[in-house]
Structure 1
């Protein structure tokens, strides 16, 4: 006799009975289990995301510009964003480098003063 299997079967039956009896008691009292927040929020987010996708598609479909013009405008906008992003990245790295260079001589001066 496989005791592990017997114990698992008993455990499964007890938890099923317990869950069913809780549902029966709540049903008789006119109550129900409260849904978790995620059970409500996740489907709403899915519907919201689908709505955004459909809206964007319809917006492009009914745009007043021709397809070629719209693609050209999008391409120019993306190139502009890419250039601005590259400029900002260069600016941040320059400022970081300047800050690091300004901090390094101070550290060597203070270590030389101690030594």
Structure 2
């Protein structure tokens, strides 16, 4: 399920780049794509791209999202009665750490490149 959430964010980023052309659409779609593929800043994706780097980002991010999904399922299944609301609450709690880390990597990269 966590991989599905990441895939939906990635697809949303692509659709957003089609709907909103220009700088704002590009920035918003890039943020959604980094949320979906948090390994992109580690691989230097904003500065340099390529098919190989994108493939590595997709595979490694999928592994990370799979582990987060398994961890969330293990934490939630300890309770006797659970639903999607409990799963979503735990997922957001763990996902926020990953998203904040990816945003921090982007900010550090922007500062290192002299954008700020």
TM-score, with structure 1 as normaliser: 0.28
TM-score, normalised to structure 2's length?
A: 0.28
Higher relative contact order (CA 8 A, sep 6+): 2
